[in-house]
């Protein structure tokens, strides 16, 4: 299917992948927002209309994890298309995953009544079989390919 850019909605989102020395990945528990089953996701999310991608990902990571981060290299970019849930029409979700370093803060979700219930360092060895968003696998595959 071919569409011009003005024929569909676009959602920009950015995430970070952080794996510590103990092979644990920082994940956020997405509550499903009433339309999906809860699952692990990367810290990050939708970029506001008037903010840069870098500013948006730093804001989202702080809201979801309590950590201040400095973004690093682009690790992966990924997109998908779907029918809109809240509107009639098509959606392109464009997603970016960055490496990041924690510069301050402490673990604890700061957003109130948001889509993230909590954040946690999860051992990579325990991730298999756990409910998780596909962006987690996109990021981990990109990390493995880079190594």
- DSSP characters over 44-102: EEEPPTTS-HHHHHHHHHHHHHSEEEEEEEEEEEEEEEEE-SSSSSEEEEEEEEEEEEE
Which pTM does this prediction carry?
0.93
Question: Is 2 among the domain residues?
Answer: no
Question: Is 125 among the domain residues?
Answer: yes
Question: Is 35 among the domain residues?
Answer: yes
Question: Is 101 among the domain residues?
Answer: yes
What is the domain range of residue 51? 12-146
pLDDT in tens, the chain (147 residues): 788 888 889 999 999 999 999 999 999 999 988 888 999 999 999 999 999 999 999 999 999 999 999 999 999 999 999 887 778 889 999 999 999 999 999 999 888 888 999 999 999 999 999 999 999 999 999 999 988
Question: Is 3 among the domain residues?
Answer: no
46 φ, ψ to 5°?
Answer: -65, 140
Question: Is 7 among the domain residues?
Answer: no
Q: How many Å apart are CA 114 and CA 3, to the nearest integer?
A: 33
When divided into structural domains, the chain yields a total of 1
- Structure tokens belonging to residue 19: 């794996």
The CATH number that applies at residue 133 is 3.90.79.10
């Amino acid at each position: 299917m071919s569409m011009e850019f003005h024929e569909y909605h676009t959602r920009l989102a950015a995430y970070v992948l952080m794996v510590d020395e103990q092979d644990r990945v920082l994940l956020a528990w997405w509550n499903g927002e009433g339309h999906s089953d809860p699952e692990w996701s990367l810290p990050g999310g939708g970029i506001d209309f008037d903010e840069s991608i870098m500013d948006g990902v730093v804001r989202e990571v702080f809201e979801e994890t309590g950590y201040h981060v400095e973004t690093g290299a682009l690790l992966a970019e990924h997109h998908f298309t779907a029918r809109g849930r809240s509107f009639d029409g098509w959606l392109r979700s464009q997603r970016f995953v960055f490496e990041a370093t924690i510069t301050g803060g402490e673990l604890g979700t700061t957003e109130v009544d948001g889509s993230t219930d909590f954040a946690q360092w999860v051992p990579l060895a325990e991730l298999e079989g756990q409910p998780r968003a596909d962006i987690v696998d996109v990021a981990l595959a990109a990390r493995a390919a880079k190594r």
